[in-house]
Amino acid sequence: MSLNDGQRRLKAVLGHMNPDGSNGLARNFTDAKEGKGLALKDKQTGKEWDIAVPLDTAAKEGKQVSFRLIPGSTVTESLTVIDNRTKKIQEIPIVNNAIEAKAIKKMAFAKSAGRVEDETENGLRVYDPGFQNTAVARSSITYINGDEGILHYRGYPIEELAENSSYLEVAYLLIYGELPTPTQFAHFEHEVMHHTFAHTKLTELMQTFNYDAHPMVSLHHLHPFLPNPSVTISADFTRLLPPQGCFITGIAAMSTFHPEANPALQGADVFTNNPQILNKQIFRLLGKSPTLAAHAYRHRIGRPANSPQNGLSYTENFLYMLDRLSEREYKPNKQLARALDILFILHAGELRLGGRWEENWGSEVGVFQMTDFASCSPNVCSVTNVDHELNCSTAAMRHIGSSRVDPYSAVAGASAALYGPLHGGANEAVLRMLERIGSAENVGSFLGEVKARRTKLFGFGHRIYKNYDPRARIVRKVAYDVFDIVGREPLIEVAIELERAALADEYFVSRKLYPNVDYWSGLIYKAMGFPTDMFPVLFAIPRVSGWLAHWKESLEEKDAKIWRPRQIYVGPPRRSFVPLSHREQGTESQPDVAVGTSTHPFRKRSKVATYKEGSGDDQ
């Protein structure tokens, strides 16, 4: 249909609607003749409505133009969708700037349409790899506005909490929704600090790990093999563990010591029906997390574990368990404990807005960024800690928890997600970058390489924050306080000069590449003497409170369901089985099947030896 034909038909339609010229809608051809488009006009009021059709472009390109009159809606907060396959119109309500995915599912099509595997008759699906624009929960825990650089925990600005509160007080806020009264906080602190001792069997278990096991992971891998506290773990068995650590396995193993808190044994509603049991697990996980982390650290350096001490704050107790040797009345430095407390606050409710190592070379800057939601500039890396909405580890906590498993298994799963190099690790990347720069004099040439896309800049920019990361401002001050106490290292001077040079360069400022929280937190931990492989553990401890807050919130959801995302099947259609003897090597490329080969010297020698099948013991 040509443009003129379309105009004539529209005129005929409108004329049919108003045959006597009475009140109604009429065509206004003036704009169309002048190339400004079409409009509908109400004869009674004179009000006009533009027809949103690119007539000018269509006319120039000789394309057909079609019109469809859509009934208006009295509901402003709604979305009107036309399914061009069925010509059906659907109105979808908008609530909190979101629409229900199930409303999209109502858009079904004939079963014969498209591939059978697409299941068009079962409704339309939304494809969103990585959950980049999918809300899977309604939460009142954390609010982030990346454009404005805002981070709120339960409505309270992170700056105010870091300056005036403590980690345990923020943990209470995250988990229970309000700041505690003095009586409530005294009870909460007492319960947490009196649940810091780990079972002796759990301590013995951790002693069986290889000394060089990574302090993060070995707490996870033994869980399936611990049916009860009396199980015996041989030294040989622990050698099956990858040399990755201790924290996650200890957390998971805790579930075997508390069968009364296992929904698989006590019923799926054990926590919703009994708040006392729920709170007991919260106290245990908050209290024992730093204990297990300290045990993992002490085992790594070949020293016996220290028992928790009463009379110390949460972070003071952690530092005591890490560092005391045989000194009497050992007390950690209060300023360092406060610095660690602030870092724990910043990391407590964080979504860890860096979730994927995402290498994006689509823009001019070469920036390697580590993030979870929107994307920042291409050559920068970013991230942080406590609760930051639904990052990878927090989403894992809610996903695993949706099956109503015990919280220890869920926290172990969340910790495992945090340990992954695409989620955690930005702080280590910053340190490696600063070590590569070497000295403050080399900063200028390094930034030149970043602009030329020959190297990557870590610790600047953020996938969510398009302004100066509010946590970075706080951490920067903490960093200088820590440096004044323990002294500066050469990397500190490099970091200061890199920040100064980047913020003075319009190239980076125009792209909103400001230092993020990871830029300084890794330097703080390094200055305090923590090895880099301990960083993920230091991030996990405070995040336990954020994970528990999401776990508790998910249990309270009225319409809670087990999380079960859909997929889009893109594999082959139905095929008939061909027996192995009838299959021939095709000319098309075959799947690349990886064949495992051992590089152990013993196996190399055995592969060239001659022998008969069977055991040598049979001789």
Q: CA 63 to CA 55: how far, in whole Å?
A: 9
For the CA atoms of 416, 421, 427, 432, the dihedral, rounded to the nearest 10 degrees, stands at 140
Report which residue type is found at 202: L
C-alpha distances (whole Å) from 21 to each of 16, 28, 568 are: 10, 14, 53
Collect all residues with Cβ–Cβ distance below 8 Å to 407 and sequence separation of at least 6.
Answer: 261, 281, 282, 285, 401, 548, 551
C-alpha distances (whole Å) from 61 to each of 2, 3, 57, 68 are: 11, 11, 6, 21
- Tokens 């400022």 sit at which residue? 509
How many CB atoms sit inside 10 A of residue 113's CB? 13
Q: CA 458 to CA 495: how far, in whole Å?
A: 11
Q: How many residues does the chain have?
A: 619
Annotated catalytic residue within 423, 550, 559, 617: 423
How many CB atoms sit inside 10 A of residue 417's CB? 22
Q: By C-alpha distance, which of 423, 397, 338 is closest to 553?
A: 397
Report which residue type is found at 479: A
Q: CA 268 to CA 263: how far, in whole Å?
A: 5
Catalytic residue list contains 462: yes
Catalytic residue list contains 190: no
Residue 93 β-bridge partners: 78
Residue 371 β-bridge partners: 356
Give the HSE-up count for residue 386: Cα atoms under 13 Å, Cβ half-sphere: 35
Residue 50 β-bridge partners: 39
**Structure tokens of 519?**
């830029």
C-alpha distances (whole Å) from 260 to each of 200, 263, 271, 406, 613 are: 19, 8, 11, 10, 50
**Structure tokens of 302?**
């070949």
- Report yes or no: 367 and 381 within 8 Å, Cβ to Cβ: yes
- Report yes or no: 209 and 238 within 8 Å, Cβ to Cβ: yes
Annotated catalytic residue within 214, 220, 388, 462: 462
C-alpha distances (whole Å) from 73 to each of 101, 107, 242 are: 20, 19, 60
Q: By C-alpha distance, which of 349, 345, 379, 387 is closest to 362?
A: 379
Q: CA 153 to CA 177: how far, in whole Å?
A: 9
* Pairing assessment for the beta strands 369-371 and 356-358 based on DSSP bridges: antiparallel
Q: CA 299 to CA 317: how far, in whole Å?
A: 18
Annotated catalytic residue within 341, 372, 387, 518: 518
Burial classification of residue 517, based on how many CB atoms lie within 10 Å of its CB (0-12 exposed, 13-18 middle, 19 or more buried)? buried
Q: CA 437 to CA 495: how far, in whole Å?
A: 10
Q: CA 250 to CA 292: how far, in whole Å?
A: 7
Q: Phi then psi for 226, rounded to 5 degrees? A: -120, 75
Active site residues: 423, 462, 518
